[in-house]
Amino acid sequence: MKKQIPNLFTLANLFLGCMAIVQIMQTGLSLSVDASGENLVEIPEQIYLASILIAAAAVVDFFDGFVARLLKVPSEMGKQLDSLADVVSFGVAPGLIIYQFLRLSFAQHDGGLDISSAFLLPAFLVPCAGAYRLARFNIDTEQSYGFKGVPIPAAGIWVASFPLVYWFAKDLWIIELLRSYWFWYAVIGLSSYLMISTLPMMAMKFKEFSIKALLPFIIIAIVSLVSAVLFGWLAVSIGFIAYVILSLLYK
């Protein structure tokens, strides 16, 4: 029974990812008319609940591995189950967030509500890249203390932060940026590339606990906290960028 406890955490991760998908798919575009008679197209506010559920899934995802090591019950089944859950919570759910924002972006233009689905389908490159990265990780024996490519939870959390940025933004330029399909295509390209690449990325696994080993994570924590105070939810993107840059510097 003890060896199943980490698997319960993993299944909770999957459950939260499924709940996030429900929130995303129930938030179709809403149409309204402003005082001047112009049509307004918007995503219902509850889409940011998906962001919170994905963040909760990330917390649970961290603890399944931690609990497995604590109880000394790591298993091959747990590893495979973790990957399956991660594809849903940090691949499919963020991909659907991008899909909905692409719909919103095109809806800002004349005839945008009738846009071909071909312009929206690139959103699903994100879960495809995430699945490829997880499969490669599962057969790679050289990623004990670091990763090759950005791990899917990091990329998924980054994408999932954008609904929170959108709904709590105070600056018009941020809102306009998140209504640009070019921005979302860039997010798709960058996140997919970072996941399938073999760039050296840091992991929360250490051969030793020292200032030198912990320094990059301390820097990321400081940058994220300062950014949270100054820029709100944009801190997630800033922290993600800091993680990638410091990983490349420290290798």
For the segment 212-241, the average pLDDT, to the nearest whole number, is 90
What are the φ and ψ backbone dihedral angles of 30, each rounded to 5 degrees? -105, 140
11 band by pLDDT with thresholds 50, 70 and 90: very high
Instruction: Please state the pTM of the whole predicted model.
Output: 0.90
What pLDDT is attached to residue 205? Answer: 67
Q: Could you tell me what percent of the chain has a pLDDT over 70?
A: 86
Boundaries of domain holding 126: 2-203
- Residue 116: pLDDT above 80? yes
CB 139 within 8 A of CB 79: no
User: Does residue 149 come out as left (phi exceeding 0), alpha (psi in the -120 to 50 range) or beta?
Assistant: left
Q: Give the helix/strand (H/E) hosting 40.
A: strand 39-42
Q: 215 and 106, same structural domain? A: no
130 band by pLDDT with thresholds 50, 70 and 90: very high
Q: 237 and 216, same structural domain? A: yes
CA pair distance 61, 181, nearest whole angstrom? 31
Number of domains in the chain: 2
Of the two residues 227 and 72, the one the predictor is more confident about is: 227
144 band by pLDDT with thresholds 50, 70 and 90: low
Which residues are registered as beta bridge partners of 201? 147
- Residue 43: pLDDT above 90? no
What DSSP string describes 166-216? HHH--SHHHHHHTT-HHHHHHHHHHHHHHHHS--EEE-S--SS-SHHHHHH
180 band by pLDDT with thresholds 50, 70 and 90: very high
Q: 214 and 190, same structural domain? A: no
Q: 249 and 165, same structural domain? A: no
With vertex at residue 11, the alpha carbon angle to CA 238 and CA 204, rounded to the nearest 5 degrees, is: 40
CA pair distance 40, 188, nearest whole angstrom? 26
Q: Where are the alpha helices (DSSP H) in 76-161?
A: 76-87, 93-107, 125-139, 152-160
Q: 190 and 227, same structural domain? A: no
CA pair distance 167, 104, nearest whole angstrom? 14
Q: 221 and 112, same structural domain? A: no
What pLDDT is attached to residue 146? Answer: 75
9 band by pLDDT with thresholds 50, 70 and 90: confident
For the segment 8-34, the average pLDDT, to the nearest whole number, is 84
Q: 112 and 84, same structural domain? A: yes
Q: 221 and 156, same structural domain? A: no
- Of 186, 203, 220, the domain-final residue: 203
Q: 215 and 197, same structural domain? A: no
What pLDDT is attached to residue 228? Answer: 93
Q: 226 and 168, same structural domain? A: no
Q: 249 and 168, same structural domain? A: no
For the segment 119-135, the average pLDDT, to the nearest whole number, is 96
Of the two residues 154 and 2, the one the predictor is more confident about is: 154
In this structure, the strands spanning 39-42 and 146-148 are unpaired
What pLDDT is attached to residue 184? Answer: 97
Q: 125 and 234, same structural domain? A: no
- Residue 207: pLDDT above 70? no
What pLDDT is attached to residue 111? Answer: 72
What pLDDT is attached to residue 89? Answer: 96
Query: CATH no. for residue 188?
Result: 1.20.120
